[in-house]
Amino acid sequence: MIRFLVFGDLHLEDCTDGEDRLETILNHAKEEQVDFIVSLGDLCFPTERYAHVVEKINGCGIPVHHTIGNHDVQEWEIGHSLRFLGKEKPYEAFEVGEYRFIILDTCYWQSEAGEFHFPNKQRIPSRYPLVPREQLEWLGKQLADGKETVIFSHMSLVNPFARRGIANKEALQQALAGKNVRLCMNGHDHGSDLKWVGNVPYYTVSSASQFCWWDAKGERVENLFYKDPLHVIVELEKDEIRIKGMESDFAGLRPEDVGIPDYRWNGVDVHPCAMSCVLKRPE
> Which stretch of 33-47, 206-220, 265-279 has the lowest confidence by average pLDDT?
206-220
- Say yes or no to pLDDT of 58 above 90: yes
- Say yes or no to pLDDT of 120 above 80: yes
Q: Tell me if residue 190 falls in helix, strand or coil.
A: coil
Mean pLDDT over each residue of the chain, to the nearest integer:
96
Q: What is the pLDDT of residue 216?
A: 81
Confidence at 5, pLDDT banded by 50, 70, 90: very high
Q: Please indicate whether residue 282 or residue 136 has the higher confidence score (pLDDT).
A: 136
Q: Using CA atoms in the order 197, 243, 264, 20, what is the torsion angle rounded to 10 degrees?
A: -140
Q: List alpha helices for the chain, DSSP H.
A: 18-31, 51-58, 78-85, 133-143, 169-176
DSSP state letter for 119 = P
Mean pLDDT, to the nearest integer, of 254-281?
Answer: 96
User: What does each C-alpha distance from 229 to 29, 207, 268 come to in angstroms?
Assistant: 13, 8, 18
DSSP state letter for 92 = E
Instruction: Compute the distance between CA of residue 258 and CA of residue 239 in angstroms, rounded to an integer.
Output: 42
- The answer to whether the pTM exceeds 0.95 is yes
Q: pLDDT tens-digit profile of 71-116? A: 999 999 999 999 999 999 999 999 999 999 999 999 999 999 999 9
User: What does each C-alpha distance from 30 to 2, 120, 190 come to in angstroms?
Assistant: 14, 39, 25
Confidence at 20, pLDDT banded by 50, 70, 90: very high
Q: pLDDT tens-digit profile of 144-158? A: 999 999 999 999 999
Confidence at 162, pLDDT banded by 50, 70, 90: confident
- Say yes or no to pLDDT of 282 above 90: no
Fold for the domain defined by 2-280:
Purple Acid Phosphatase; chain A, domain 2 (3.60.21)
Q: pLDDT tens-digit profile of 186-244? A: 999 999 999 999 999 999 999 999 999 998 877 889 999 999 999 999 999 999 999 99
